[in-house]
Amino acid sequence: LASGARAAILRTSWVFDGTGKNFVTTMRRLAESRTALTVVADQIGGPTPATAIAEACLTILTSLREGNPGGIYHLSGSPDVSWADFARAIFAATGQGVTVTDIATRDYPTPARRPQNSRLDCGTLKTDFGIDRPDWCRAVIDIVKDNP
Protein backbone atom coordinates (compact mmCIF):
# COMPACT_ATOMS: atom_id res chain seq x y z
CA LEU A 1 0.00 0.00 0.00
CA ALA A 2 2.85 2.36 0.81
CA SER A 3 4.17 2.00 -2.75
CA GLY A 4 1.04 3.59 -4.15
CA ALA A 5 0.05 0.49 -6.08
CA ARG A 6 -3.61 -0.40 -6.22
CA ALA A 7 -3.89 -3.12 -3.61
CA ALA A 8 -6.26 -4.36 -0.97
CA ILE A 9 -5.72 -6.11 2.32
CA LEU A 10 -8.71 -8.09 3.52
CA ARG A 11 -8.73 -8.83 7.24
CA THR A 12 -11.11 -11.49 8.45
CA SER A 13 -11.79 -13.69 11.47
CA TRP A 14 -13.26 -16.98 12.63
CA VAL A 15 -13.02 -18.55 9.15
CA PHE A 16 -14.92 -21.79 8.58
CA ASP A 17 -16.08 -24.18 5.90
CA GLY A 18 -17.18 -27.81 5.68
CA THR A 19 -13.73 -29.37 5.42
CA GLY A 20 -10.30 -29.01 6.96
CA LYS A 21 -9.59 -27.84 10.48
CA ASN A 22 -11.95 -25.14 11.69
CA PHE A 23 -14.55 -24.62 14.40
CA VAL A 24 -17.45 -26.11 12.44
CA THR A 25 -15.64 -29.33 11.56
CA THR A 26 -14.23 -29.61 15.08
CA MET A 27 -17.67 -29.26 16.70
CA ARG A 28 -19.16 -31.80 14.32
CA ARG A 29 -16.34 -34.25 15.05
CA LEU A 30 -16.64 -33.80 18.83
CA ALA A 31 -20.41 -34.36 18.61
CA GLU A 32 -19.76 -37.85 17.27
CA SER A 33 -18.41 -38.95 20.66
CA ARG A 34 -19.85 -36.47 23.17
CA THR A 35 -23.28 -35.33 24.26
CA ALA A 36 -22.04 -32.30 26.22
CA LEU A 37 -19.32 -29.72 25.66
CA THR A 38 -18.03 -26.65 27.45
CA VAL A 39 -17.38 -23.74 25.09
CA VAL A 40 -16.05 -20.24 25.69
CA ALA A 41 -18.86 -17.70 25.91
CA ASP A 42 -17.06 -14.43 26.62
CA GLN A 43 -15.26 -14.10 23.27
CA ILE A 44 -17.38 -12.41 20.62
CA GLY A 45 -16.78 -12.28 16.88
CA GLY A 46 -18.26 -12.78 13.44
CA PRO A 47 -17.83 -16.30 12.03
CA THR A 48 -16.86 -15.94 8.38
CA PRO A 49 -17.64 -18.51 5.69
CA ALA A 50 -14.63 -19.23 3.48
CA THR A 51 -16.86 -18.98 0.41
CA ALA A 52 -17.77 -15.40 1.34
CA ILE A 53 -14.09 -14.51 1.57
CA ALA A 54 -13.44 -15.94 -1.90
CA GLU A 55 -16.40 -14.03 -3.35
CA ALA A 56 -15.27 -10.80 -1.68
CA CYS A 57 -11.75 -11.23 -3.07
CA LEU A 58 -13.13 -11.58 -6.60
CA THR A 59 -15.30 -8.48 -6.20
CA ILE A 60 -12.40 -6.47 -4.79
CA LEU A 61 -10.05 -7.63 -7.55
CA THR A 62 -12.53 -6.59 -10.24
CA SER A 63 -12.93 -3.19 -8.60
CA LEU A 64 -9.16 -2.69 -8.34
CA ARG A 65 -8.82 -3.46 -12.05
CA GLU A 66 -11.47 -0.80 -12.71
CA GLY A 67 -9.47 1.82 -10.83
CA ASN A 68 -10.52 1.59 -7.17
CA PRO A 69 -7.45 2.63 -5.16
CA GLY A 70 -7.89 -0.16 -2.59
CA GLY A 71 -6.89 -0.09 1.05
CA ILE A 72 -7.42 -2.13 4.18
CA TYR A 73 -10.82 -3.77 4.60
CA HIS A 74 -12.56 -6.03 7.10
CA LEU A 75 -14.94 -8.91 6.41
CA SER A 76 -16.65 -10.99 9.05
CA GLY A 77 -19.93 -12.83 9.23
CA SER A 78 -23.10 -11.56 10.81
CA PRO A 79 -24.49 -11.54 13.41
CA ASP A 80 -21.69 -11.31 15.95
CA VAL A 81 -21.83 -14.22 18.37
CA SER A 82 -19.91 -16.03 21.10
CA TRP A 83 -18.10 -19.29 20.45
CA ALA A 84 -20.67 -21.05 22.65
CA ASP A 85 -23.61 -19.68 20.67
CA PHE A 86 -21.82 -20.50 17.42
CA ALA A 87 -21.49 -24.10 18.64
CA ARG A 88 -25.20 -24.20 19.55
CA ALA A 89 -26.10 -23.02 16.04
CA ILE A 90 -23.90 -25.72 14.50
CA PHE A 91 -25.59 -28.43 16.56
CA ALA A 92 -29.03 -27.04 15.75
CA ALA A 93 -28.19 -27.18 12.03
CA THR A 94 -26.83 -30.72 12.23
CA GLY A 95 -29.48 -32.05 14.58
CA GLN A 96 -26.74 -33.34 16.87
CA GLY A 97 -28.10 -33.34 20.42
CA VAL A 98 -25.13 -31.78 22.16
CA THR A 99 -25.56 -29.67 25.27
CA VAL A 100 -23.28 -26.62 25.34
CA THR A 101 -22.29 -25.16 28.69
CA ASP A 102 -20.83 -21.64 28.70
CA ILE A 103 -17.41 -21.12 30.25
CA ALA A 104 -15.11 -18.13 30.59
CA THR A 105 -11.88 -17.74 28.65
CA ARG A 106 -9.93 -18.10 31.88
CA ASP A 107 -11.43 -21.60 32.29
CA TYR A 108 -10.13 -22.74 28.90
CA PRO A 109 -6.37 -22.19 29.00
CA THR A 110 -4.52 -22.11 25.69
CA PRO A 111 -0.95 -21.14 24.83
CA ALA A 112 -2.22 -18.31 22.60
CA ARG A 113 -4.06 -15.36 24.11
CA ARG A 114 -7.41 -14.79 22.43
CA PRO A 115 -9.16 -11.41 22.32
CA GLN A 116 -12.58 -11.18 23.93
CA ASN A 117 -13.74 -8.81 21.21
CA SER A 118 -12.96 -9.97 17.65
CA ARG A 119 -15.74 -7.94 16.06
CA LEU A 120 -14.71 -6.14 12.88
CA ASP A 121 -16.13 -2.95 11.42
CA CYS A 122 -17.01 -3.94 7.86
CA GLY A 123 -18.54 -0.61 6.87
CA THR A 124 -15.81 0.45 4.44
CA LEU A 125 -16.09 -2.84 2.55
CA LYS A 126 -19.81 -2.15 2.11
CA THR A 127 -19.23 1.47 1.09
CA ASP A 128 -16.39 0.82 -1.37
CA PHE A 129 -17.51 -2.51 -2.87
CA GLY A 130 -21.15 -3.05 -1.89
CA ILE A 131 -20.21 -6.19 0.03
CA ASP A 132 -22.52 -7.02 2.93
CA ARG A 133 -21.49 -9.07 5.90
CA PRO A 134 -22.30 -12.70 5.08
CA ASP A 135 -24.95 -14.57 7.04
CA TRP A 136 -22.91 -17.26 8.79
CA CYS A 137 -26.09 -19.02 10.02
CA ARG A 138 -27.18 -19.68 6.44
CA ALA A 139 -23.65 -20.79 5.55
CA VAL A 140 -23.61 -23.36 8.38
CA ILE A 141 -26.92 -24.80 7.16
CA ASP A 142 -25.55 -24.99 3.59
CA ILE A 143 -22.36 -26.69 4.79
CA VAL A 144 -24.34 -29.30 6.70
CA LYS A 145 -26.42 -30.03 3.56
CA ASP A 146 -23.30 -30.30 1.39
CA ASN A 147 -21.23 -32.28 3.94
CA PRO A 148 -23.60 -34.71 5.71
In a domain, 41, yes or no: yes
In a domain, 2, yes or no: no
In a domain, 82, yes or no: yes
**How many domains, the chain?**
1
In a domain, 1, yes or no: no
pLDDT, average across residues 37-57: 98
pLDDT at 147 over 90: no
Question: Which CATH number belongs to the domain containing residue 17 in this structure?
Answer: 3.40.50.720
Whole-number pLDDT of residue 41 = 98
* Measured distance CA(87)–CA(89) in Å, rounded: 5
pLDDT, average across residues 32-53: 97
Containing structural domain, residue 14? 7-146
In a domain, 99, yes or no: yes
Model pLDDT for residues 50-82, shown as the tens digit of each residue: 999 999 999 999 999 998 888 999 999 999 999
